[in-house]
Amino acid sequence: MIRVWTLDSFDDKQLAKFNRTLYTAFGVGSEHSGSAEVPAGMPEPLDAEKLLQEVKGIRSYKDDKVLLLTTRKLKERELPSGVAPTSGFAWHGKDRAVLSIAPHKDLETGFKPVARHALHQLGHLWELHHCLDPRCSMYPPWTPSFAQGEPIFCTFCREKSEQKIRLAKS
């Protein structure tokens, strides 16, 4: 089950549409499970990794995947090989990811790119790696063409995610 938790206010209809897109992509139920607060004193842009560790009040079951949705910007990550633009962050193979819809104001204005990013982060939760196919949502998200694509997976990534989901269910 995919559980979307919002850290800011979002339109319910847009959230419902967003959940339908996630359901279509993964074949797993997706719902808006509630709202949570950003830890007090956390400066903006938010440190994604710290946010995932410190956010409180998220309830989920063992096999659930939690996606935190926020309108606030996430801080770029300093990596050993350079700076990685960060619009989302996920613990690989674990259960929690965060996604910022910035620079879009709401889901309606940037639905496709946000949905594509959501697929990307949730894909990481199901142990998918970055993909070579520019049409796939697992393509590196900082590439210029990423935001123009559809929220879909390539055949390889879709099959792999389905396999991981089956394994998780069994």
Partner 1 sequence: MPEGSASLQLAVGDRVVYPNQGVCRVTAIDVKEVAGQKLTFVTMRREEDGAVVMVPSNKVVAIGVRKVATAEDVESIFEFLRSDSDKADLDWKQRARTNLDRMTQGGILGLAEVVKGLQVLSELRPLPTKERELYDNARHLLVMEVAAALGTAEVNAEDSIDVVLFPPGRERPKRTAAEFARDEEDLGLDGDLLGLDGDLDLPSDEEPPAEPAEEEASEEGEEGEAAESTEEAAPKKRGRPPKAKPEAAEGGEAAAPKKRGRPPKPKPEATAAAEGAEAPAPKKRGRPPKPKPPEAEGAAPAAPKKRGRPPKAKPSEGED
| Residues of this chain that bind partner 1 (CB under 8 A) | 49, 77, 79-85, 89-93, 124, 129-130, 132-134, 140, 142-145, 156, 160
CB of 48 to partner 1, least distance (A): 10
Decide whether 65 or 124 has the Cβ nearer to partner 1: 124
Contact 125, 63 (CB under 8 A): no
Running DSSP on this structure, what letter comes out for residue 46? B
Contact 137, 152 (CB under 8 A): yes
Decide whether 111 or 156 has the Cβ nearer to partner 1: 156
CB of 155 to partner 1, least distance (A): 9
Decide whether 41 or 144 has the Cβ nearer to partner 1: 144
Decide whether 39 or 93 has the Cβ nearer to partner 1: 93
CB of 149 to partner 1, least distance (A): 12
The whole-angstrom separation of Cα 120 and Cα 146 is: 10
CB of 9 to partner 1, least distance (A): 28
The whole-angstrom separation of Cα 146 and Cα 138 is: 9
| Helices marked H in the chain | 12-26, 48-54, 111-125, 155-169
Contacts of 112 (CB under 8 A, 6+ apart): 147, 149, 150, 151
